[in-house]
Structure 1
Amino acid sequence: MHEPVKDSLVETLVDDRYFVRSLIARGGMSSVYLATDRRLDRDVALKVLYPHLAADRGFLRRFESEAKSAARLSHPHVVGVLDQGIAENLAYLVMEYVPGRTLRGLMEERGPLSPRLALALMDAVVEGLAAAHDAGLVHRDVKPENVLLADNGRIKIADFGLARAVSTSTNTGTLVGTVAYLAPELVTAGGADERSDVYSAGIMLYEMLTGRQPFTGDSPIQVAFAHVHSSVPVPSALCPGLAEDLDELVRWCTAKDPEERPVNGRALLGELRHIRSSLSDAELDFRCGPSPDGGPAASGAPTEALSGVTEVLAGAAAGTAVIDASAPRPDGTGSNSTEVIHRSGNATTVLPSGRNPGSRDDADAGGYADDDYDAYDDGGEGDDGDDDAGQGAPRRLTKRDERALVRRSDREAHRPRMSLRSGKPRRRGILLGLLLTVLLAAAVFAGWFFGAGPGALVSVPDVSNISAEDAGTQLGDAGLTYSTNEVFDEAVAAGLAVGTDPAAPREVRRFQPVTLLVSKGPQLFTVPNVVQRTIEAAGENLRDAELSVGAVTEEYSESVAAGSVISQQPLPDTLLRLGAPVDLTVSRGPAPVEVPGVTGLDEEAAVKALEDAGLTAAVAPDKANSASVPAGAVVAQDAAPGGLLERGSTVTLTISLGPRMVEVPNYVGQRAESARADLESRGFTVEVENLLGGLLGLVRDQEPGAGTAPEGSTVTLKVV
């Protein structure tokens, strides 16, 4: 028993943030991993591009652009793009992790789905496509593998923009898409728009209802040409009893002419929901079950509830494979992976000749069954319209008959056409000798080829930190062919070798190409001008320029608003390395001013003093009496003298009414002590003059006399 090979990324940390826990799936462009975002402590799906795509800078630019466009698309039925980056020679995309499974897994388990379930699933898919089309995005690779069924009941479509990124990285004669769901215009013209997604969605609906794809073939090109030259059959041809509205919906979505399809997902969504609401329960619960020959057959049994689709799915989407159309298929049949088909003039294919498998003579040897559907009527010689003569139109093979025909052809191919035991013994000896000689020569050639020739294993030498010329010499001495690619590197000086791809000391065959990576020195980025911008906007501008915010200091400024940048260091248009800091000086607004003391000044002088200090004066509507401040002068201010206020702040002044007038009684003839106490209680200052020694203690006279006097003024008592 062989131990499984552990993926080199599993249990590693990507970009100092994403801890890779396990491999979910592999595809033609990337591998998808389950990872944990350590910064936000959440599970994510990490899609890592293969090295040959990550090394293509043009592709990476398109990949970044498409990832940003997809990240702006936020919809409940679209897998969210959370992050994208390049780190340690890895180009990656971080997506929302959707635990559950794909629509492909559901269809493989259950076969044909009921219209109720199929339309419910399509509603979510088309709603997601409609949101994307409204945002100007085209998916280009709609298929069951890209429809995720979360275990909490959510339905999401994944991989927006990736098909576009890989298609624009290939030449103009290359077509990218999954042939089973490929719109005809992608084969003939190569261009895709919203109607191409609608076509793929129609094929997917056909497969959900019937359990089969409308076109199959031995090679991707056969399937692609079928989309171009044949019309998609209606689902009821395979499943009699399906509602006619479903046939019309599939026919509308899969029209060969894009002008005859719904213009986008939004138009399709409206019609889809109308059909769902107009079908009866019997029509919605109708289902094609498997027939005895392996094909679908009508069944009136009610379908399962929609909640049944929520089962375990691991990963962002089924991998997208890139397959050369000239290579043999692994299983000899069609594929659901995204394929690259080279169109070289739409060359004619030569089909093997043989007896008509549809004739009555071959019926017992795996020919067409009587209940197959008519495929075509060639109208050639011998077709006189006489059905009894066996000259009718050929009929399509059933799956069972196809397998029987393949087994019969395989037996014929392995049946020897001559016997080595027949003929003359000498001739047999010569033939055996020639055969042995050829086998020996082949063995010798193979031994040389894989031992010392181009197929021999050699270790890639370590050429880092030496000149490009010396590195090329070492690779040539090792018998390796190489190409040169210049890359930015923070540590290796320009002109020196950074390393190779594959990296040393990996063993490769001599005929395998090796890429020599030569340093262009550190990548430099232009410092943007962030003066007069808020600190938040400045930080975002610097991060977009691949730089960082350095030290931030604050200063008062009379001209720059608080929170905005006054100056920066280094200055704009300076070239810095990746992630270099830029120091910022941020305004605290105008400097505060000291409050002058204006108590005792008249109103006009007080207002002028405050305005000269950069403040605003306001006079309180109510005035106040003051025994010490004369009327018309400032008796109080609400900001203490010497304090600091922002320039332009308001200081409120209270103006004096002068002292309050208080009644002075007549104390002549009264005892001096009681008169003094009464005056002091009224707020007066009392002075006593003793006449003749003041022996009697009686008030003989007073100044001022009886009447009123200002509060706090002095009253003199003359005592005898």
Structure 2
Amino acid sequence: MARKIGSRYTANQILGRGSAGTVWLGEGPEGPVAIKLLREDLASDQELVGRFVQERTALLGLEHPHVVSVRDLVVDGNDLALVMDLVRGTDLRTRLDRDRRLAPEAAVAIVADIADGLAAAHAAGVVHRDVKPENVLLDMQGPLGPGGSHPALLTDFGVAKLIDSPRRTRATKIIGTPDYLAPEIVEGLPPRAAVDIYALATVLYELLAGFTPFGGGHPGAVLRRHVTETVAPLPGIPDELWQLIVQCLAKAPASRLRASELGARLRELLPLIAGMPPLDVDEPEAESAEDEAPAAEEAAPAGERARRRGAVPLVPGAKPADSNRDTHTSMRVPGPDELAGGARGTARVPRATGAPRPGSARHRAVTRRRRIVLGTAAALLVAAAGVGTWLATSEDDTGATPQDTNNSAPSTP
């Protein structure tokens, strides 16, 4: 059913729903537009509305070929909406759901596009704060790029900042999507441009591997891994690309590349990975991550501890999504002792296809067989050593001369 948005726009058809609102296909004075209508309970927050209006200049002035431009901001009664360019295509999450992972050339080309868009935003003083596949749109009508990739555009600029207002979330709270949160956010520091680089490197890892480097299990466990764990290597990609990912996933924000540098470096690597097939690695199963859940649950409010799969709504009363990557999580900042808890080392190690997952029944069976073989071999070695000793002793007992056996006794006159 069509509805009026302000005096200039009409929302005709729902295109999608997110944790912060609903996206409509709409019509404006200059033709078709996309209208992101924020939830009514957000629109009724007068402080948020004030911030919304204050951000108008920055958001309207952000124009780049790889950014979905905001044309207008509408505040009308209970309606709070962003009017944006209409991108005819799909989002990157939908593409991942279909293909699981992308060929390296296409993945790198898409991430390079988004890095270019972020460079323009950061130069204008705008930090996205919620870079993830759901917020990357693929323009199906644009020219194909390297690896057959469609042009990628970053959307939802300003939404996370608008919602993350001082009154709605105290300094002891985290708002974001757990899989993509930079360590400094988990530790309670203010988000700077480097958080977008960390999130984008996480997206690149996910496009290549089919899973995020620190995701899986309870949101508290995910947050802790961002701070304490080392990213697990991906087999089969050139070392130059891997080192780039590692640098942008550095725990220290100052160690990461700037967006402009990342985009340029990625494009330089495109000839090196041209024609490479998608990686053939198995995703670490959730069980290994959920083993950490009991300790990690202390990082979550009591009412959320029963939920294992991070479906924590951003807005009270909102219906949780099916995946912790589809919604925001609002949690208190874990203390130093909580962040230091749990296993340290490399998180969620990817395995070659067919290799048993650590901790699985198959892995335990293989481990038992190895122990039996090693135990049997050890027993045989001990037995062989015992036989050798017995033979040597027996030879001494039967073949020695009287002089040899009595050489310690005093001679008689």
What SS does the aligned partner of 1:341 have? strand
Residues 225-374 of structure 1 correspond to what in structure 2 (within 5 A)? 225-236=224-235, 241-262=236-257, 264-277=258-271, 279=272, 283-289=273-279, 326=305, 328=307, 329=309, 334-343=324-333, 345=335, 348=338, 365-368=361-364
Q: Which amino acid is 2:6 matched to?
A: D
Instruction: Show the counterpart of 2:188.
Output: 189
Q: Deviations over 1:629-656 (max 9, x none)?
A: xxxxxxxxxxxxxxxxxxxxxxxxxxxx
Task: Give the unaligned 5+ runs of structure 1.
Answer: 1-9, 297-323, 352-359, 372-386, 391-720
Higher relative contact order (CA 8 A, sep 6+): 2
Q: Which amino acid is 1:73 matched to?
A: L
Instruction: Show the counterpart of 1:18.
Output: 9
CA distance in 2, matches of 1:167, 1:125: 23
Q: Does structure 1 retain, via aligned residues, the 8 Å contact 2:187–2:333?
A: no
Q: Does structure 2 retain, via aligned residues, the 8 Å contact 1:122–1:205?
A: yes
Residues 212-223 of structure 1 correspond to what in structure 2 (within 5 A)? 212-223=211-222
Q: Deviations over 1:417-464 (max 9, x none)?
A: xxxxxxxxxxxxxxxxxxxxxxxxxxxxxxxxxxxxxxxxxxxxxxxx
Q: Deviations over 1:377-421 (max 9, x none)?
A: xxxxxxxxxx9469xxxxxxxxxxxxxxxxxxxxxxxxxxxxxxx
Q: Which amino acid is 2:52 matched to?
A: F
Q: Does structure 2 retain, via aligned residues, the 8 Å contact 1:132–1:138?
A: yes
Higher strand share: 1
What SS does the aligned partner of 1:288 have? coil
CA distance in 2, matches of 1:112, 1:364: 24
1:73 to 62, 68, 80: 62
Q: Alpha carbons of 1:60 and 1:139: their partners in 2 closer, same or farther (altered >3 Å)? A: same
Q: Does structure 2 retain, via aligned residues, the 8 Å contact 1:84–1:92?
A: yes
1:30 pairs with 2:21: yes
Runs of 4+ in 1 over 6 A off after TM superposition: 293-296
Q: Alpha carbons of 1:74 and 1:186: their partners in 2 closer, same or farther (altered >3 Å)? A: same
Q: Does structure 2 retain, via aligned residues, the 8 Å contact 1:111–1:289?
A: no
Q: CA deviation at 1:76?
A: 0.7
Residues 566-605 of structure 1 correspond to what in structure 2 (within 5 A)? none
Which is higher, the Rg of structure 1 or of structure 2?
1
Task: Give the unaligned 5+ runs of structure 2.
Answer: 143-150, 286-302, 312-320, 343-355, 368-372, 377-413
CA distance in 1, matches of 2:202, 2:360: 34
Q: CA deviation at 1:284?
A: 2.8
Q: Deviations over 1:53-92 (max 9, x none)?
A: 1111111111222243121011111001011121132111
Q: CA deviation at 1:234?
A: 2.5
CA distance in 2, matches of 1:21, 1:339: 30
Residues 425-444 of structure 1 correspond to what in structure 2 (within 5 A)? none
Q: Does structure 1 retain, via aligned residues, the 8 Å contact 2:113–2:152?
A: yes
1:86 pairs with 2:75: yes
CA distance in 1, matches of 2:14, 2:184: 36
TM-score (norm. length: structure 2): 0.70
1:56 pairs with 2:45: yes
Instruction: Show the counterpart of 1:210.
Output: 209
Residues 360-399 of structure 1 correspond to what in structure 2 (within 5 A)? 365-368=361-364, 388=374
CA distance in 2, matches of 1:364, 1:295: 10
Q: Does structure 2 retain, via aligned residues, the 8 Å contact 1:175–1:190?
A: no
CA distance in 1, matches of 2:330, 2:375: 46
CA distance in 1, matches of 2:217, 2:176: 17
Q: Does structure 2 retain, via aligned residues, the 8 Å contact 1:133–1:194?
A: yes
1:166 pairs with 2:141: no
CA distance in 2, matches of 1:101, 1:111: 15
Instruction: Show the counterpart of 1:454.
Output: none
Higher helix share: 2
Instruction: Show the counterpart of 1:704.
Output: none
Q: Does structure 2 retain, via aligned residues, the 8 Å contact 1:101–1:149?
A: yes
Q: Does structure 2 retain, via aligned residues, the 8 Å contact 1:11–1:20?
A: yes
1:102 pairs with 2:60: no
CA distance in 2, matches of 1:96, 1:87: 20
Q: Alpha carbons of 1:333 and 1:137: their partners in 2 closer, same or farther (altered >3 Å)? A: closer
Q: Does structure 2 retain, via aligned residues, the 8 Å contact 1:218–1:334?
A: no
What SS does the aligned partner of 2:23 have? strand
CA distance in 2, matches of 1:389, 1:188: 47
Greater Cα shift, 168-177 or 100-109: 168-177
1:157 pairs with 2:127: no
% identical equivalent positions: 32
Q: Does structure 2 retain, via aligned residues, the 8 Å contact 1:114–1:284?
A: no
Q: Which amino acid is 1:284 matched to?
A: A
Q: Which amino acid is 1:190 matched to?
A: L
Q: Deviations over 1:676-697 (max 9, x none)?
A: xxxxxxxxxxxxxxxxxxxxxx
Q: CA deviation at 1:364?
A: 8.4
Q: Alpha carbons of 1:269 and 1:365: their partners in 2 closer, same or farther (altered >3 Å)? A: closer
Q: CA deviation at 1:345?
A: 3.4
Pairwise CA RMSD: 3.1
Instruction: Show the counterpart of 1:300.
Output: none
Q: Which amino acid is 1:251 matched to?
A: V
CA distance in 2, matches of 1:155, 1:364: 38
Q: CA deviation at 1:178?
A: 1.2
Q: Does structure 2 retain, via aligned residues, the 8 Å contact 1:217–1:333?
A: no
CA distance in 2, matches of 1:114, 1:13: 43
CA distance in 2, matches of 1:35, 1:363: 51
- Aligned residue pair count: 320
CA distance in 2, matches of 1:364, 1:218: 16
1:117 pairs with 2:106: yes
Q: Does structure 2 retain, via aligned residues, the 8 Å contact 1:119–1:272?
A: yes
Q: Alpha carbons of 1:198 and 1:36: their partners in 2 closer, same or farther (altered >3 Å)? A: same
